[in-house]
Copies of this chain bind each other. A is one copy, B any other.
Amino acid sequence: MGAPARAIPHASSRAAVLDVIRAAGTISRVGLIQATGFTGATISTVVRKLIEDGLVVETGRAESTGGKPRVLLQLKASSRYAVGVHLDHSGIAYVLTDLSGAVVARMTRAGAGTDDPPAVVERMAAEVSTLIEGAGIDRARVLGIGLVSPGPLTPASGMRLAPPVMRHWADFPLDERVQRATGLPVVLGNDATAAALGEYWSGAVSGSSTFAAVYVCTGIGSGILINGIPYNGSSGNAGEIGHICLDADGPECWCGARGCTEVLAGPAAVVARAREDAGVARAAGLAGGNGRGHSSVAADFAAVARAARRGEPGARAIVDRSARYLAVATRTLANVLDLDRVVLTGQSLAVAGSMYQPVVQEELDRAFFSRATHPVAVQVSTSAATAPAIGAATMVLQSELVPLQPGTRIPGGLARPEQAAARPSGT
């Protein structure tokens, strides 16, 4: 069957051309005509406007088979910037990227903790200014802020059904307040989906058509990319593997269900088990008490994971048990979505990923339903701490750079990962 076709409104032909230029590295006008299917007149008009706006520059000539050499076009990466903010209980990560998605500045500040949302927004606005000014970038060139946080998100804004540690953020009009405080447009998103985008744009999953980022920070989630395009589901809340049932008779989860991956295997469950064993708690240097107050779940999890990595047997057993549950949940995700690649990411897997990866890979090799057809490769992210913030920034860039559907040919130039992806079969 052929691929579905759709009408191209004028506004997005600009974005499509810009994205082809970005993906190709350098490309001629003739190359753009071939890659997009637009007419020569359309390409000529769109390119003229992009050059006028300073987004694209001419950059020398390509050799041509007969005829005169063709002028090459290139993105002017420094013409526009985007801010990415990853807001979490345990930390707030900021990145500033240029139009090509390259990170030009990054910083990490204290998490939202138990502070009131308005106070956190005020602080974030100041920190965004610090980020932009510190990089010496003209604020007028900043397209906007991508702001990602734990889901599920409401269609409009906010963190309805937020996890316990961020419940006071539910129904807070996050995008509106940040927009007012910074004067910059705000795009909200889910942290796990942003992590997947961050991995994708940083080239970590080149060649994958159907990829998930299994994301463990304070909770467990996943972000799903189909040919580089986020799969959002009907309300922007897809990929919630932290709340699929692995044991119908298991303990009750904060979400209201029983035996969820998160309540069995999430960082809070690992920390709780470690605290139950005085030897493990001591080896991990966990403070006494119930873990509330200033220590965060993610920080305590990291302490247990480090103890496990040092070979403390009790800590290792607790981490291994968590890894086996996460492996089963990842297999479910792979069976439902027919994945070809999984990246283990998020702040907690940045510390513990090397202990989880072999367990998840073994589970998929042994029991992924379609294993006779193809394997599912499991890798640990090399940019787990910043992937969600990078993904958040690319959400803003995508409003300027709308990718063409996969399968579009990029003649010449460097094929970036999102263009190298194969077209899905049969649609």
List chain A positions with a Cβ less than 8 A from chain B: 1-9, 11-13, 15-16, 35-38, 152-155, 160-161, 187, 189, 208-210, 226, 229-241, 243-248, 255-257, 324-325, 328, 331-333, 335-340, 366-367, 369-370, 372-374, 395, 398-399, 402-405, 408, 424-427
CB neighbours of A154 from chain B (8 A): 373
Which B residues lie within 8 Å of A369 (CB)? 152, 161, 237, 240, 243, 255, 257
Residues of B within 8 A of A208 (CB): 234
19 CB contacts below 8 A, A to B, read: A5-B405, A6-B8, A6-B405, A7-B8, A7-B38, A8-B8, A9-B37, A153-B373, A155-B373, A232-B338, A237-B370, A237-B373, A240-B369, A244-B335, A244-B336, A248-B328, A256-B367, A257-B367, A257-B369
**B residues less than 8 Å from A408 (CB atoms):** 6-7
User: Which 7 pairs, one residue from A and one from B, show the smallest C-beta to C-beta distance?
Assistant: A233-B338, A7-B37, A6-B405, A257-B367, A210-B234, A234-B340, A237-B370
How far, in whole Å, are A257 and B209 apart by their CA atoms in the complex?
25
Considering the chains assembled together, what is the distance between the CA atoms of A13 and B13 in angstroms?
17
Whole-angstrom CA separation of A98 from B97 in the bound complex: 53
Q: Secondary structure of the A side of the interface?
A: loop
The interface centre, meaning the residue of A237, A239, A245, A335 with most chain B CB atoms within 10 A of its CB, is A335
| Contact call B336/A333, Cβ cutoff below 8 A | yes
The distance in angstroms between the C-alpha atoms of A328 and B16, with both chains bound, is 41
